[in-house]
Amino acid sequence: MISKLIGVFGGTFDPVHNGHTKIIQNLLELIPFDEIKVIPNGQPPHRTSVCSNNDRLEMVNLAFKGINQISVDEREIHREGPSYAIHTAREILEEYHQDNIIWIMGSDAFSEIDTWFEWEDFLNIINILVMARPGSEIDSTSMAGTLILERQTSNIDDLSYGAGKILIVDIDPINISSTQVRSNLAAGETVNELILEDVSDYIDSGKLYTKPS
């Protein structure tokens, strides 16, 4: 059986916005992924979601339904307790043991990697692709900076075997955040250029982000 290259892209997606979809489309152009699994967090350990799990899942399904090579993975939405990355990584590595799994995260998230639950074990079982974003450079003197110095590779092929390696990829800058979208919605301002029409319609129909959190 020929192994596949599978990316794992997690997030709160509260709500999912054009930055998320464009980043993934950019990654598919840069990296020969056979599939990217988009995984909405159920109970994020580092933040509190505003919308319900079901609403965030539905918005993610709407946002990515038209993108080939994308699958929405619901495992964290249905998991009880906090959504720790290491639990998801272990499950996926076991389920897709014949494939090459790459965890995708932004440089802002990786800069705080040493605050993650069982982060050292997490780094040792999986390869990581870090998306470099303007304005969120990783401090070279931090733990994240040290890890990059020790583990960075510049060759995508190195992520097809073993674990514990880090590849940094420059992506097109997209200055959109879920916080910005929620703020606009709460203020009654337009979000037409920030989120997809189907997602906007879903938010309107449920009057999401206009109620007190």
Tell me how far apart the alpha carbons of residues 178 and 102 are, in angstroms, rounded to a whole number. 24
Tell me how far apart the alpha carbons of residues 48 and 77 are, in angstroms, rounded to a whole number. 14
CA R_g for the chain: 17
Q: What is the pLDDT of residues 157-193, one digit of tens each?
A: 999 889 999 999 998 878 899 999 999 999 999 898 9
Ranges of the chain whose pLDDT falls below 50:
213
210 within domain boundaries: no
Q: What is the pLDDT of residues 89-104, one digit of tens each?
A: 999 999 999 999 999 9
In this structure, which amino acid lies at residue 181? V
Q: Which pTM value belongs to this model?
A: 0.93
**Measuring CA to CA, how many Å separate 97 from each of 31, 39, 80, 102, 133?**
20, 18, 24, 12, 31
Domain that holds residue 77: 5-204
Peptide bond into 15 cis (omega under 30): yes
82 within domain boundaries: yes
151 within domain boundaries: yes
Q: Count structural domains, the chain.
A: 1
In this structure, which amino acid lies at residue 150? E
191 within domain boundaries: yes
Q: What CATH number is associated with residue 102?
A: 3.40.50.620
What is the overall mean pLDDT for the chain? 92
Element (H, E) at 89: helix 85-95
